[in-house]
Structure 1
Amino acid sequence: MDWYISFRTRRTDKLEDDAHRVWTWMQALAPLTPALSLWRPTSDSRKKAYASPPITEAELTQRILDAETRTELPIFTCSPTFVGTIDGQGSKTLISFNLPEPGDMGVSLEGGVQLSAAIDASEDLADAIMRTSITVLAPTIGTMNLLRKSAYMYGGGPAPFTYSPGWKMFFSTTSPHHAHALQLATRTEPTTHGTLCTFGTPDTYPDILDQW
């Protein structure tokens, strides 16, 4: 399966502080599985990317700052790093700023073979990735989903909660969708500012969330 993990949170006052939070998230995920243990800078060449040494916080920060300077708009995205130890099987990050609303920051891991296989093999790992990300990023919403399944839900239109529907989802207590999510969830885990919800299995979550 091809897993995609994403979170929406609020930005800090400085881009450097946003970068530090992304770095902290990367470091917190690293001990969970070998698939998340080695973060390197992206490159226009796969060979060069996989030959690169681990990315540093300074390099990550500079890449994010450079992405901002390349646009005249307040909205921008970048993919400064990827993670994985097996050549060609890594997962790339995607970081967005001021999307969909000013002050928002999106942090995503696009599906890679190594990480997806590790998640397939262990629901405990899936929960740990979500739990760790929730703790570090303090998101308003988050998801772990299969793109090929989620794309065909709700008639191909946006989900009622305006985020990608997933097997594992986080809703903050301030979300207007929090209570309904708890009603549909097959398993819940309270956090400091919301709830981590599991909706069935990787095969059945579309059927459950289609009832929203």
Structure 2
Amino acid sequence: MAELDDIVSSLLSAVMAAFRRDAADAVGVGVLVWHEDGTLDEVLSVLTDEGPDVVRALAGVAQAPHLVARRQRRVVRGPLAAEARAALDDAGLDRVRGAVALPTEWGRDGDCVLVVWLDREPAEGDVDLLARWEPMVVSSAVTAVTCRSAAEQVDELVDVLRARVVIEQAKGMVMARHRLPAEDAFELLREVSQRSNTPVRRLARAVVATATDARSDGDVAGDPAGRLAQRLLG
């Protein structure tokens, strides 16, 4: 899903450029997402200037603009509160003078805030500018995160199916060698797996490799799973 992530990063960069065209220096812009338990899951934040450093410096600071926006479900615009100011100064980020944080509709578990950090106190039109970009930026972020999750689930499913194919092959070979019904052949594989503390998937791969001469006797001799497979098929 690199392409979608690139699109979101490009949009966030465009937000920064829009602020800069209005004579404001955006120090960083990000889409920040929280889990249901309130822990920050920084799904997407622009890797431009000091944006990520600001997030790290303000981690756990209750008066951080993005935390206030998330907690109170309201737009936060203005100079930084004393606690947030001190945290940024300690981190060497005294350049950051203000922020606009816009809570958004995420459509997933947890909360989402679109935030811009500035090198000055925010002006009246900054909220409107951020709000104009919000539909494109957050919609793209939702798409990127959702598609990435779906892709990971597909990869997991493919891994499971591949493992099942190998196990079924090994089961068939044990059935043929010992003239066992399918249930008993699988039970034998599982029994050897448990007794030797060898995962069934690994044992099945060794059985298939041994039965099909996919590796040399030397390879089998140096592999505990291979030796188990030889005994199973011997």
TM-score, with structure 2 as normaliser:
0.26
Higher relative CO (Cα under 8 Å, sequence separation at least 6) belongs to 1
- The structure with more strand, counted as a fraction of residues: 1
- The structure with more helix, counted as a fraction of residues: 2
TM-score, with structure 1 as normaliser:
0.28
Report which of the two structures shows the higher radius of gyration computed on alpha carbons.
2
